[in-house]
Structure 1
């Protein structure tokens, strides 16, 4: 037993002596620094779990436990008090292994530059540059969105050209041709008209669209009465642009006046929480938090809600989640007390709210994709597949198996690996079936999985963490319930809880469903997951077939050699290993054949005569 194992055993003994009371536990490293703070309904049960079998922990927990030198605890009268104390202590100590959120909610402003031809932009702080600053605003996203809307509605430039210096010096940019810029660079708009547009944009930003519409409508009517038809038409176009912008915003509007929508997307080493905040039924703010690896999604959601609303004064009456959070009832009570009114936590399954959650989740997947170098499609497909199969988190590392033979001869199997939704060809493996004679795909699949699991346990003693030394998040077999039933006992006997499913084809050899021990899951309606599973099934089939053809070819060549007198399997292998191809053996002279390890001169003569019968006759 190593020193680390002895230390973990000692920590478990101490944890087993803890009381069954609610409280907060605090983990320290060798330097005494606090690295994790958690709450528990029963301290003994919760803390002792950390120092049990590593198989029950995800990577994040294993890393944390490996750094624990000692722990302490504080008893509380209730689990609710433990939650409040936990929030306070995490704020104070910011432990490394807790979910920590960077609060960038500083003040933001709208900047209007001084001088002729003013520009409107977003600013993070007020500078002493003579510009006008409108604000402050709390949300950077809302400020940027408002500025972008105003610039598009009133067709104000976003380029770096300076006016009047650059007027007439170059062709207008693309924004002019798609009718999103009045293009002062063309010299067709006067400074007075331009400044009028800027002031109307400022009124729009200050007063909102409803007030701006009333003012513009009045100006349009006055211009029409004064027979200033060009000006009236220009104002009419701005009113139409405001309406189009409002129609676009209705896509992310909701009948619930005030609520937050929270979704989690997980990737390899990176996770993202996305928060959509709705006020007056309209999306008023959006926040993104990249938080590294999060492990169990239920626990991660619960911890995120604690951290997030510890930083926010405003708690809405309704919070929609993309999945169940750990301790939802406790969180509901805490949020209700913080808000001073009832707060509803829900996981919508259909309707408008479910669509909002899905949109929020897709945005989180976009952030994970950018952070991990994947495409949004890959990140979304893994997320959708994980949810479809009832997995706690997306399957980042997938292994797939297929058996290939010809009427029971040359029985082989192929294993392919997909990591982050992409083939990982360095991890592909080939198996020649050893214990099964004839065509028995179930028994063959059973043997392959036994050998794969045996390789995993052998690798553990050698500190190998890739290839066979790494367990997959998901196993997909080419076949139905029969293949799943054949392999499941192997995983159970090894004490491994790896999600296991089959990939079922239709009569045209296209992916139709996913099989499990007890039924099938239709996947056609889940387009992203369907495409990913189809790609995996096609790839594992191609790889297994390719290996089978290669084996059959070698077998045919080998049988050609072993038919020669004095050449057995060993010498046939030695010849193929040395010359690579049968053509090279045929073209070799007697001296080259004798140079092959294990060959004698008489045996070499037999090989030479076999390929050169005319020489033997002469």
Structure 2
């Protein structure tokens, strides 16, 4: 065991920078930043001893500290974010949900602008709205907008290749600018209405549309008046569902925090022009102070492709708030306010966020207790040796022996752990051999688990006795028979009568090593549902990966066989036509019209698919 760490303040500079705390093996435990490294580290190792339990919890494990000096505190903040992403220290927050935030983008410089879903925020002159917590939420918003303001859905070039307007035009959710069925001026009014609705100015739109409806009625254009009437009703219904709670003039992100021992629940409410458009919750394992947590969380949270609001409301101000504010203002390009309100409407918003965080923690505790009861039932009903806290299910997918893949789906403490899912390309098996493929996947997974001391409690295999015996052989070879339970799940069988008509469906059967008869669980059993869900998830995960590889192989082989079509021109063709099917069905004139594609090569592509 290495010697305890002795802190000497004179070894560290009075300058801004980043510090890296390491254990005896040189593994980085924690990365932090400070405007004054010596003072910051002294707060951890003061002679009187820091009375905070969470600080002692960390420093007792520290055996060395490295520092990197920077010119400014802002540079230290940026460097800290970079190092955390690279090293992923055990005691730092590591937010890995970059793909969960989507926004709406519209470029008003286009002749016929439209709203598009994006996950990247750029300074490109376009307008962005969001963030939305899920793609489903933003699609619902788009569906609502298209019904009121029928903007185009697809790229103009693709739509103009069609002989007639698309289905969206037929159902009234597109105005078909691609076929000249609306003037640029009228289309621009639709765009302005959509932007006003996203900005929370629904009342202004209703007043303007009401004037247009009355004018159309006075001119006896009753069909146009009826369309305007329906649009007004749709907007009024939308406005009723959107409760205004924040500041109408600015965008606000409101944070609430609730601590329960070593776990912290944090909720972010996204207010845009006074409307709560979405929220996001996080559950974090954190052993240090709440102040340090909030500072670290904000730095990582806004160090992504995310719209930075005009105002950030917090339950308390984190350390080094000025540096954080300067950094956010530089990223946004204009002023950003960070505040911890104590009274008034803004304090009420923070209190709402904190109530949501507390409710999230309570729900999680109730769910955890229910999950533990379910795991205990699983152990009892299936005669397992240990509580199956971590269950891994494996499945194989192939088609005539081509592109064979394996998948691993995982449940931890009764809940899906999608970050732990894994996909495997089969290397040592050729042809259709599910047994050999399963053996390879399990060997690779368990050998890695032995190296990393990361093994499951239960292996669930999609199959009967044959697959089960193969798994047991692998466990015996690795000496893991006594450390891991294994279970085979066989799909229910349909019993038919003499005419081939299904008359009965058997129950799912579970096979255990050394047990002659399978175990059956009653229909509707929570244990049965848990294991069926895991089996189906592994099956879905394997099939998705297999289909992806097959599509990639088909696409690559089809285009790579065309002389003169390299990676750049393959990308050009796919971008222009949208798919391999589009390229295959394109006429010679359409291929010749592709920008950047030589005329002789267009003829070569056409002959390849049509000769």
Same fold by TM (over 0.5)?
no
Tell me the TM-score normalised to structure 2 length.
0.41
Tell me the TM-score normalised to structure 1 length.
0.41
